[in-house]
């Protein structure tokens, strides 16, 4: 699969996840093509989740799984889908704003701008929604 095809598929997955989350039906939506988000979720929400995925792939993927089905590179690093499922994302958002520092010696501290935090939380919410459907 080419990088461009993978990017389009990931973008389509995020749009599909957000559509499902917004609908609340619990049924998988029809496959979406890459492009503008459906009006039911808004283009801004879909764009934020997509940007959040890019942040996760850049900053987190060297240790954590960032997708719905991939495995973490490091056994001790939980997949982000698991983090999204079990963590209070509001509290995580606060921790990221304060400069996330963990007790794990191998995890570096991260400092994000407010917009990046919003995008990353939007992606984690999309992962949570896709997992619970």
* Average pLDDT estimate for 74-99: 92
Residue 102's Cβ-count burial label (10 Å; 0-12, 13-18, 19+) is exposed
Band of the pLDDT at 80, cuts 50, 70, 90? Answer: very high
Which pLDDT tens digit goes with each residue over 64-74? 999 999 999 99
* Highest mean pLDDT out of 2-16, 20-34, 72-86: 72-86
Chain center to CA of 106: 22
**Out of 5-14, 20-29, 93-102, 111-120, least confident range:** 20-29
Alpha-carbon span 117 to 133, nearest angstrom: 24
> Using 50, 70 and 90 to split pLDDT, how confident is the model at 122?
very high
Whether the model clears a pTM of 0.85, i.e. scores above it, the answer is no
- pLDDT value, residue 84: 96
Q: Which residues fall within 8 angstroms of residue 74, CB to CB, at 6 or more apart? A: 63, 64, 106
| Residue found under tokens 């935090």 | 117
Report the alpha-carbon distance of residue 126 to residue 21 in Å, rounded: 7
Split at pLDDT 50, 70, 90, the class of 41 is low
pLDDT exceeds 50 at position 76: yes
Average pLDDT over residues 16-38: 38
């Amino acid at each position: 699969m080419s990088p461009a095809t993978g990017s389009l598929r990931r973008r389509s997955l995020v749009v599909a996840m957000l559509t499902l989350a917004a609908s609340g039906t619990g049924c998988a939506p029809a496959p979406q093509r890459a492009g503008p988000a459906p009006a039911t979720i808004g283009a801004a929400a879909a764009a934020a989740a997509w940007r959040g995925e890019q942040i996760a792939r850049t900053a987190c993927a060297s240790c954590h799984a960032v997708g719905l089905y991939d495995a973490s590179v490091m056994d001790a690093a939980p997949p982000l889908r698991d983090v999204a499922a079990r963590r209070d994302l509001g509290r995580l958002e606060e921790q990221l704003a304060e400069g996330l520092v963990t007790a794990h010696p191998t995890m570096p501290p991260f400092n994000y701008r407010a917009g990046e935090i919003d995008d990353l939380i939007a992606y984690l919410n999309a992962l949570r929604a896709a997992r619970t459907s």
